[in-house]
């Protein structure tokens, strides 16, 4: 695993980074799993700006809209906000419960009492990792009813796409799994350790701590595994045919095509 503050490689179980000295919390702990979220009020205008970005649909080559629960760039940062119709769903950063509020600022209400991360809203359901229950995946209706647990894995980087939830299983140091949204059909996709999972157009993109945190991809059916680059990276964000990421070797932002070509520095 890697330090979320400076990117230094650290051993599983370490509590502090040997390079920058910052505390490191593993997946499954009660507070701040993966990317840190500042403990301050969520400013409505900020939520709206992020939500507008999430609203942009991903169009498949055949012209079919890919139905998904949240944007990939938002998921790698903890999935703390999502937009569905006229409603903004977000995690209150004081108590980490899910709330909803209309885009005009009215009708604010709390949805659950769970410590929630990686929210994905699709149809009438909100899917999320529940840190009060070992980061198991839960779902609850958008009106707060019918709360139920989907799995009992330590789960992170949830991507809800169609009828499937893709996630890192940190009972197994980040092996990638998928499970149907009703809790059936759980299966292992790949035994690589993983972080920053992005699922788009039939591919799962992720950084692989077993290989210096290089970017890999594999098809959602478990075939076609390939390495995209050989750098130590973090915070993958895919837009169109490009993968944007932070290169921890020099702290710069780069982009590379999803097929591994055209690498270039952005800043």
Angle at 251 between CA 173 and CA 253, to 5 degrees: 90
Dihedral of CA atoms 180, 183, 189, 195 in degrees, nearest 10, equals 100
Q: SS3 for 156?
A: strand
Per residue in 128-157, pLDDT tens? Answer: 999 999 999 999 999 999 999 999 999 999
- The pLDDT score that the predictor gives to residue 36 is 41
Pick from 174, 210, 172: nearest CA to 194: 174
What is the C-alpha separation between 202 and 224, in angstroms, rounded? 11
- Domain locations in the chain as residue ranges: 1-30, 44-265
User: Cα separation of 201 and 199, whole Å?
Assistant: 7
What is the pTM for the complete model shown? 0.78
Output the DSSP codes for 172-220: TTTEEEEEETTS---EEEE-S--EEEEEETTEEEEEEGGGTTEEEEEET
Which parts of the chain have pLDDT scores under 50?
1, 12, 25-64
pLDDT at 89: 95
Q: 44: part of which helix (H) or strand (E)?
A: helix 44-55
How much is the pLDDT for 130?
A: 95
- Identify the pLDDT of residue 64: 47
For residue 256, what pLDDT is reported?
Answer: 95
CATH code at 44-265 = 2.120.10.30
The pLDDT tens digits for 190-222 are 999 999 999 999 999 999 999 999 999 999 999
Which pLDDT score, from 0 to 100, does residue 10 have?
Answer: 60
Q: So what's the pLDDT on residue 166?
A: 97
């Amino acid at each position: 695993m890697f330090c979320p503050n400076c990117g230094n490689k650290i051993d599983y179980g370490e509590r502090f980074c040997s390079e920058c000295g910052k505390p490191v919390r593993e997946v499954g702990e009660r507070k701040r799993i993966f990317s840190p979220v500042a403990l301050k009020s969520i400013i409505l205008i900020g939520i709206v700006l992020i939500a507008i970005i999430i609203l942009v649909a991903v169009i498949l080559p055949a012209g079919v809209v890919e139905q998904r629960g949240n944007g990939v760039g938002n998921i790698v940062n903890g999935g703390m906000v999502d937009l569905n119709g006229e409603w903004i769903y977000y995690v209150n950063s004081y108590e980490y419960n899910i709330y909803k509020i209309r885009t005009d600022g009215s009708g604010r209400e709390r949805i659950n009492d769970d410590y929630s991360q990686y929210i994905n809203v699709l149809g009438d359901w909100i899917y999320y990792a529940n840190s009060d229950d070992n980061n198991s995946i839960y779902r609850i209706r958008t009106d707060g009813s019918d709360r139920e647990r989907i799995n009992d894995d330590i789960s992170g980087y949830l991507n809800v796409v169609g009828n499937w939830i893709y996630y890192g299983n940190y009972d197994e140091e980040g092996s990638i799994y998928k499970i149907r949204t009703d809790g059936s059909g759980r299966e292992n996709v790949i035994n690589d350790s993983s972080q920053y999972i992005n699922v788009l157009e039939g591919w799962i993109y992720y950084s692989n701590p077993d290989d210096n945190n290089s970017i890999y991809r594999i098809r959602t059916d478990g075939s076609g595994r390939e390495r995209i680059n050989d750098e130590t990276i973090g915070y993958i964000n895919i837009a169109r045919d490009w993968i944007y990421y932070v290169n921890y070797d020099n702290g710069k932002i780069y982009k590379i095509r999803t097929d591994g070509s055209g690498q270039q520095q952005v800043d």
